[in-house]
Amino acid sequence: MFRLQKKRFDFRFSNLQALQVPKGWDKLLLSMVSVETGKTVAKSSRAMVRNGGCRWTETFSESVTISQSDASKDNQECIFKFVVAMGARNGILGEATVNLANYKSSKTAVSVSFPLRKCTHGTILQVKLQCSATQERLREEQLEDTGSDADHINLDYTDVENKSDAASVNHPDSASDAGESPNRDLKFSASGSHYNFDSPRSMDSSLSRENSSNENFLNRSSSNPIVREDLTSSLHDPSGLNHFSFSSKFSTAPRQLQSKRDDYSRIPRSVPSSPSWNGSSSSKELLETGEDSTEVLRAQAKMWEQNARKLMADVEKLQSDILDHSTQQAGLEMDLSESRKECDGLKKELDQLKILLEESPLNQLASDKVNFQSSELEDEIKFHKESNADLALQLKKTQESNIELVSLLQELEDIVEKQKMEIASFSQLQPVHTDCRSFLYEEEDESKHVFGKDSRNVICNNWDMEGEEEIIKLEAKLSEALDPPDFGHGGDCNHVNEIKVLKLKMEELEKDCNELTNENLELLLKLKESSQSDPPTFGDSPHSVSNDSFEKSSYYAAESEISRNNLMKDHEVEALNLEKRKMDSRISNLLTEKQQLEEKVDSMFIEDSATSRCFDDSGDEMMMFGSSMSSQASARQSPGMERCRSDLEGHLNEMEKENVQLYERICGLEAQLRYLTDESQLNRLEVEISQSEAASLREEIGRLKGELEVQKAGLRQKTQGVHKQWLEMQEECEFLKMENLKLQSSSESLMEECSVLQKSNAELKKQKMLLHEQCSVLEAELKDSEKVVVSMFKEVEALEGKYECMLQEISSKERAFILELDTLVHDNETQKEKLASEVSQLNHLYQERTVLAENLQSEVALLTAKISETHDEQEIRGSESILEVSRLRADKALLEASLQDVREKLRLSEINFSTLKKETELNLQGLREELEASEQNQEVLAADNEKLLELVEEANSSKEKQRGSIRWLELKLKAAEYDKLQVAEEMSSLESQVHKTALLQEEVLALKKSLNEVKFENQRLQASLEILSEDFEGVKTENVTAVEKISDMEKALAELEDCKRSKASLEEKVFRLELDITAKEAQGGQDAELKNELARVKITNSGLHRKMKHLEEEKQEYLKRAQALEKDLRRMKEAKLDDPHHSSDVCNNGHEDTEVRTWDSSSPIFIIKN
């Protein structure tokens, strides 16, 4: 009695945790997948990773049915898979498999640790597993060896089958049916047609039941070695067992049904010939055999009825399966339509992205980092442009200042020429003055009376003119003595105005700088907001998107902090530079004021001394004039002279009065001089204070200069390092150019591949349309075949009725057969002897070919010997020998493919054997013709049934093939689209890198050009400074010679004119010195600006080097990401290979690959062997 029990085991999984989790995996989820069905049984929520460990609070529970038979203990497997991932397709950390059948005997909770497969980081999954069993008898069938009708039917059915094989041996046309005998050997009635297509568990249970029934049959038939060998051969034969079809789960049931129907169609062909080989001579035995044959026929009729019922149930199940397949096909068509819609949407998005890329390639193709860097580069380019504009303005200013200096030099030359002309005019006036005096004395001597009045008038007028000139000169001196401070104040006012204008300009520049910094900060904030708000444009996995967003946020935070620190430092440096410039301007202003005050004081003292000398000279001249007049009066005591004397005395009195007034004026001027001296002393004190402050400032300046020198040395070293780095970067740029060319070539090849893929995609779409059309045609054919099947079933029912009538006729004719069998017994004995001899000959032939044939022939020889010795056991052994002969015939049919020469000999032996049979078959031809007619009808019906079943199976297989091809095409489409996206991403990254390198090269060239231009301008300015200094020295020497000439000429002229000229020359010198100082200060400011610009250029150069380093780091990061993506692709490929749904495709394409794929019968997983 067979008893197949199954137990349901409830497994509980708790304390789920992962250890040694690598960095970068912040949140993980755990999912439990059944390997048999490929469905996710349970799934946890996302858990945070802390200190390299991740713990899930959920508990998984799963109930599993496992068979308890002894035969299935070794092969029973119930495999589940734990998958640890971040939720993305390519974000799988690893997976671990567990066989629950190994833990069904554990009574307590067991903690198990599994190392994750497909994980190179050594991550371990720890699970606490607890099992609790609840016995459930899923199926219990009792098949009694004796006492049940079904068992009799099965045994009789096997006997009938064996006898039919024996009859096929003796029949001359049985050679064609010899190849079909292995498929008839292993057909049992242990409710083999009860199949369930609803769930894979029921299918697996049915498979296990059938396997157990086969094993029990093998155990029962262990006493017969021949049967055992045939069973093993049929088990190893792939056509004998239809349970192990490995293409898909849904293809197993129809093949099993077909095998059952094949048996059903093969049974009645051998029924009538079963009693033809009973070797008994008595009538009782013949009657017993007839009764046995009638019982066999009845059992066969019952089997026909059972098989018909089974067929009807199978047809109903097939119809339900067809309906399920149609619903699944409708669902697949819906999925296809949805996938097409998604493809159309993705194509539209790709078109939009292409349009956006054409409009703004930098903003869409490059990532947020590239956008941020491009904005920074644009700001730096603007800064460089502004600096270039400032340099151009400074050049213009220097050119204007040079033009002004040239104009000033021309004016100085004009002034020198005017002074020379005045000196020449004064030298001409002096002899005229002496001639006038001599002429007056001569006229006085010649005409004392006539021209006395005229001479007196002329002399008085001259003296009046001279006095008026002296008064005017003194007033001019006083005004000049009072005017120099005013003159200084006027110059100071001009300087103050210029300083105010410069301050206003500086304030405006500071405002512009502040506005630019604010705008830069606003742009940075906008870029951050846009980077946070904009989602990823390409169809990347969520895992890669989350990693990129985390890296970008950290990168932007770091860059914002660095930019803020740089801005603060720049503001501090600018503030210090402004303070330094202010201090320098204050020091220069104080020094200029000090020099101006000293020059003013010196000029005041010189003017005082000159005025005192002038007064002394005028007094001496008056005394000389009085003495001359007294001498003239004593010499000329004439009345005319007395009148002249009285007039002269009146004039003298007036002159004295005027002198008194002049003395009063001089006293006032002396008071003013004293006041001015006091002010000068105060100014000197202020100058001394300012000098002390200037000394302290000079010390600070010296300290700052020392610091600047140290910084300059450091900057020189840095510039050397930067120059080395620059050279390295040039080499790297050349290398990048070469790589760029390679990448361009690779991009061109990728574009060609994209075009090829597009073409293949179009071809695949066409093929898909053709497949859809074929599916519709096949569906129509299926409907027609269903109608044909219904009509055929009706015909089968009618034929069964006819068959019952035929059986009744056969039973009536068998009675006549029994009478004729008595005469045939004697012939049987003789033919058996001949058979023994022929069997011995066949044994000799088989010994030459195979060892198996020798063993079988020896057993046949032993059996024939036993038949000759014991006549009583002949009937029992006769059937066994016939069975053995049939088995030998079956083995012969199997060996015919490899043993052609043996077949020829066997054909000869069969011809000889057929000649022996002809004598006995003459009497049975009429009966056989009738049997053959019935068999032919039955065969026609079976063939029609088989054809129908084959059509159904072909339709199902075509449907499955179409589904597999559709899935394969969909996977190809998805893979092609994914490859397109990857190629587009790689192209965008390559274009961005190429654009970056081009921009960097342009910037480096621009910086080189700007450096060369600045150097050239600096050299040109230095040359112009040297030329101006030489011109200035030449002008100085000319001025010195001019002053010497003027001093020589002034000895002959009056000292008043000397004072004027010295004052004018000094004022001119002061003006020139002021102009020179302002020019020097302007040049110093320009030099400082040039230095500042050089520092800025160096800073920008260092920033560019940093950016180049940053780009290299980004390149390394992208290379790492590319490697990670390649690993993920490999994982995806391995996962696709491990997926059971793709097993059929893999099996179909297995001969094209270099790998050998084998199938594990315990679980639907491929084992790949390289």
pLDDT tens, residue by residue, 17-73: 999 888 888 888 899 998 888 888 898 988 888 888 999 988 888 888 877 654 444
pLDDT of residue 1087: 67
pLDDT of residue 475: 53
pLDDT of residue 110: 86
Using DSSP's 3-state secondary structure scheme, residue 42 falls into: strand
Does the pLDDT value for residue 915 go beyond 80? Answer: no
> For the chain, what percent of residues have pLDDT higher than 70?
54
| CA pair distance 442, 917, nearest whole angstrom | 200
Placement of tokens 């006095």 in the chain: 467
| CA pair distance 863, 843, nearest whole angstrom | 13
Higher pLDDT, 1046 or 723: 723
> For the chain, what percent of residues have pLDDT higher than 90?
1
| CA pair distance 347, 395, nearest whole angstrom | 57
| CA pair distance 525, 317, nearest whole angstrom | 68
pLDDT of residue 1011: 78
Does the pLDDT value for residue 157 go beyond 50? Answer: no
The β-bridge partners of 48 are: 27
Does the pLDDT value for residue 104 go beyond 70? Answer: yes
Full 3-state SS string of 1146-1170: HHHCCCCCCCEEEECCCCCCEEEEC
Three-point CA angle 409, 415, 420, nearest 5°: 130
| CA pair distance 1051, 548, nearest whole angstrom | 94
Full 3-state SS string of 702-721: HHHHHHHHHHHHHHHHHHHH
pLDDT of residue 69: 54
pLDDT of residue 879: 66
Higher pLDDT, 890 or 235: 890
The one-letter amino acid code at 747 reads S
Model confidence at 496, pLDDT cuts 50, 70, 90, reads low
Q: What six digits make up the tokens of 628?
A: 């001359």
Stretch 240-244: mean pLDDT, rounded? 37
Task: Provide the phi-psi class of 114: left if phi over 0, else alpha when psi is between -120 and 50, else beta.
Answer: beta
857 to each of 97, 279, 863, 875, 1133, how far by Cα in Å?
52, 21, 10, 20, 55
Model confidence at 554, pLDDT cuts 50, 70, 90, reads low
- CA nearest 165: which of 183, 140, 152? 183
pLDDT of residue 593: 73
Model confidence at 540, pLDDT cuts 50, 70, 90, reads very low
pLDDT of residue 1101: 73
Model confidence at 1144, pLDDT cuts 50, 70, 90, reads very low
Model confidence at 891, pLDDT cuts 50, 70, 90, reads low
- Rounded to a whole number of angstroms, the CA Rg of the chain reads 63
Buried b / exposed e over 697-707, threshold 16 CB at 10 Å, is: beeebeeeeee
| CA pair distance 814, 272, nearest whole angstrom | 9
pLDDT of residue 149: 44
Highest mean pLDDT among 729-733, 949-953, 1119-1123: 1119-1123
| CA pair distance 550, 542, nearest whole angstrom | 12
Model confidence at 96, pLDDT cuts 50, 70, 90, reads very high
| CA pair distance 44, 974, nearest whole angstrom | 28
1167 to each of 1019, 1137, 1148, 1150, how far by Cα in Å?
80, 10, 15, 12
Q: Kindly list the domain boundaries of the chain, sorted by start residue.
A: 6-140, 1139-1170
Stretch 559-574: mean pLDDT, rounded? 69
Asked if 1010 and 1104 touch (Cβ cutoff 8 Å), the reply is no
pLDDT of residue 212: 43
- CA nearest 1039: which of 1074, 999, 1004, 1068? 1068
Higher pLDDT, 1125 or 218: 1125
Stretch 443-453: mean pLDDT, rounded? 48
pLDDT of residue 335: 76
Does the pLDDT value for residue 532 go beyond 80? Answer: no
pLDDT of residue 1145: 45
Architecture of domain 6-140: Sandwich (2.60)
Chain center to CA of 820: 92
pLDDT of residue 466: 55
Lowest mean pLDDT segment, chosen from 59-63, 606-610, 715-719: 606-610
Question: What pLDDT, in 10s, does the model give residues 626-659?
Answer: 566 555 555 554 555 667 667 777 777 877 777 7
The one-letter amino acid code at 630 reads S
pLDDT of residue 132: 77
Stretch 123-152: mean pLDDT, rounded? 58
- 135 phi, psi to nearest 5 deg: -70, 135
Q: What is the mean pLDDT of the chain?
A: 67
The one-letter amino acid code at 315 reads V
Count Cβ atoms below 10 Å from residue 696 Cβ, excluding itself: 10
Stretch 918-939: mean pLDDT, rounded? 69
DSSP code, position 117: B
Question: What pLDDT, in 10s, does the model give residues 319-339?
Answer: 777 888 778 777 777 877 777
Model confidence at 140, pLDDT cuts 50, 70, 90, reads very low
Does the pLDDT value for residue 771 go beyond 70? Answer: yes
| CA pair distance 764, 398, nearest whole angstrom | 74
Stretch 382-399: mean pLDDT, rounded? 73
Lowest mean pLDDT segment, chosen from 413-417, 880-884, 1001-1005, 1148-1152: 1148-1152
- 661 phi, psi to nearest 5 deg: -60, -40
| CA pair distance 29, 88, nearest whole angstrom | 10
- 53 phi, psi to nearest 5 deg: -135, 150
Does the pLDDT value for residue 261 go beyond 60? Answer: no
Asked if 669 and 481 touch (Cβ cutoff 8 Å), the reply is yes
Does the pLDDT value for residue 678 go beyond 50? Answer: yes
pLDDT of residue 1059: 64
Q: Long-range contacts: 331-338, Cβ < 8 Å, 24+?
A: 332/963, 332/966, 336/966, 336/970
| CA pair distance 194, 306, nearest whole angstrom | 12
Question: What pLDDT, in 10s, does the model give residues 160-190?
Answer: 344 434 333 334 343 333 333 333 333 333 3
Indicate the length of the chain as a whole number: 1170
Using DSSP's 3-state secondary structure scheme, residue 79 falls into: strand
